[in-house]
Amino acid sequence: MDSGAVEPASTGAIWSTPSVEPRSISIGKQIFCNRSLNMRNITAVGFDMDYTLAQYKPETFEALAYHGTIEKLVKDLNYPEELLTWQFDWKYMVRGLVLDKKRGNILKMDRHKYVKVAYHGFREMSKEEKVAAYGSTLIRDSFDEPDYALIDTLFSLGEAYLFAQLVDFMDSNPAKVPSGTDYAHMYRDVRSAVDLCHRDGTLKRMVAKEPSRYINEDLAIVPMLQMLRKSGRSTFLVTNSLWDYTDVVMNYLCGPYMSDVSSSHNHKWLEYFDVVITGSSKPSFFHDDNRTGLFEVEPDSGKLLNADLQIGSPRSSQHQPKPIHKVYQGGNVGHLHRLLSVASSSQILYVGDHIYGDILRSKKVLVGGLCW
């Protein structure tokens, strides 16, 4: 990093728990479990797309988000041009960390919310500093929004790293940041610049041009979907990404199994799913009180048609055949039930990468019945 920001002391291992013994099974084959599930009750299995079916390569994808964010900070929010020379170490941050926006700190806590490790920017805080900021074992903060941000998705690794760099940069160059800026203000700027990168096509345009550069190929996806369908279960996709991007990513992931890979618009991957819902606005999609309208997406043109009437009311739906169209935008869990002809969320297994972003209303409220 060629800037006023302090070079991180070391990477990766800081936040990780050292393993007691070397693991002989690769991480991709290990199964972690916190509840039991009888698959006999499951009639439909659904997937999130980004970071679930589509495993992005952090060294390219998160780096793209990191550099796109810096460009926006410099061009739109008056941060100094020297930020453009900063580098991203994609191995440094890990999920589970918490950002203290006001103090400019990055925290690792245990499950009792005791702060075990704390860094101010990239400098490790002493025990005394930690106790002064976060109290002793008896008094604990809740470490929730709005003062704290949980790094709970792989999408946030770049913004956490950039926040730490900016904290160091501001400490050593207070005159170089826009006047009136404090740590929390910098966090807000980073967050809104990241958000814009996701919304304005900065990331998605680049991924669409060259998916193999940003997404890991996974030859196990199609056989897994085929196996589920052969077992008599329905399969579905519910993603917050919109149709055009979903089509690019899924074409790439299912591509090696398609006969006509030369056409990026054959939509053949749709044959592995009964229902595809894009632009789903999870987690509210899964909340019973969500009344968002459902649109049908015309795959070739991307045109939206009102779909609510075509799939019928909940009462009449049991007697209606499943609709032949399968790509939708918006809607809610009630629409999903009708499209899949399932009576209850307890028959649905949904596989996602982000429990708060995918199904939880808050840290405390789980969507009724859904297996995750």
Nearest to 53 by CA among 353, 284, 358: 353
- Of 95 and 198, the one with the shorter C-beta distance to ligand LQESDW3C is 198
Burial of 336 (0-12, 13-18, 19+ CB in 10 A): buried
Note whether 62 binds ligand LQESDW3C by CB under 6 A: no
Q: Does residue 274 have an active-site annotation? A: no
Q: Is 353 annotated as a binding residue?
A: yes
Task: Using CB under 6 A, pick the residue from 69, 241, 329, 347 that binds ligand LQESDW3C.
Answer: 241
Looking at residue 17, the DSSP 8-state letter turns out to be P
Distance CA 352, CA 51 (A): 8
- Sign for the CA dihedral angle at 34, 40, 41, 45 comes to positive
Q: Is 182 annotated as a binding residue?
A: no
- Of 76 and 124, the one with the shorter C-beta distance to ligand LQESDW3C is 76
Nearest to 203 by CA among 172, 249, 238: 249
Note whether 195 binds ligand LQESDW3C by CB under 6 A: yes
Distance of CA 178 to the CA centre of its chain: 30
* Segment contacting ligand LQESDW3C by CB under 6 A, of 23-31, 135-143, 194-202, 332-340: 194-202
Q: Does residue 244 have an active-site annotation? A: no
Min CB(213)–Mg ion separation in Å: 19
Burial of 286 (0-12, 13-18, 19+ CB in 10 A): buried
Q: Is 48 annotated as a binding residue?
A: yes
Burial of 284 (0-12, 13-18, 19+ CB in 10 A): middle
**Contact string (CB under 5 A) for Mg ion, positions 20-59, x = contact:** ----------------------------x-xx--------
Q: Which residue(s) pair with 98 in the sheet?
A: 107, 150
Alpha carbon separation from 298 to 239, 241, 243, 266, 327 (Å, rounded): 17, 16, 9, 13, 7
- Of 51 and 372, the one with the shorter C-beta distance to ligand LQESDW3C is 51
Of 50, 168, 274, 358, the catalytic one is 50
* Segment contacting ligand LQESDW3C by CB under 6 A, of 36-44, 48-56, 67-75, 364-372: 48-56
* Contact set with ligand LQESDW3C (CB under 6 A): 48-51, 155, 194-195, 198-199, 239-241, 282
* Contact set with Mg ion (CB under 5 A): 48, 50-51, 353
